[in-house]
Amino acid sequence: MKIRRAEMIDLDEVVDILNRVAQNLQEKGIHQWDYPWERDKIEKEIKSDQAFILFNDKKAIGTFFIREIDGLSELAVPPQSNYLNKIAILPEYQGKNIGAIIIDYACSFSHKLNKTLYLDCWAGNDKLKAFYAGHGFNYLGDFPEDDYYISVYQK
């Protein structure tokens, strides 16, 4: 596995991964992500060095984003904390411990910058909530987000 910051040449792959994962989530009844993703928004995040891409050999199989935040939903967080978001692993690669690789990378990345790392998920996704708790994240509570609730975690 190789992780690196996404570059503009990766834009199509990043958007494709996000769209494929969003479709898969919606098929499972998880509606946290809109479909399709806005290409312009992802392009801005790549240009802002917030996007990362994960490769298995030379195939892009996942993406995730880390950005600075000062708040998350209704939760105040320490200024310039890191927020891990849009973790997307192609469906055929899910369940192979790749999420743990991403989590470890993001924790190490934030630790090197001496920043607290936050992440969230749809409050109804019990499997993902257990995954985050199992990787040492502290559950901070459920908070409203549009027409659903998100569970927020910190490490």
- The CATH number of the domain where 28 resides is what? 3.40.630.30
Number of domains in the chain: 1
- The pTM score is 0.94
Range of the domain at 124: 2-154
pLDDT tens column, 103-138: 999 999 999 999 999 999 989 889 899 999 999 999
Give pairs for 132-140: CB < 8 Å, separation 24+.
Answer: 132/103, 135/100, 135/103, 140/75
Lowest mean pLDDT among 7-11, 29-33, 60-64, 94-98: 29-33
- Provide the pLDDT for residue 117: 97
85: left (phi over 0), alpha (psi -120 to 50) or beta: beta
Beta strand pairing call for 117-122 and 75-89: parallel
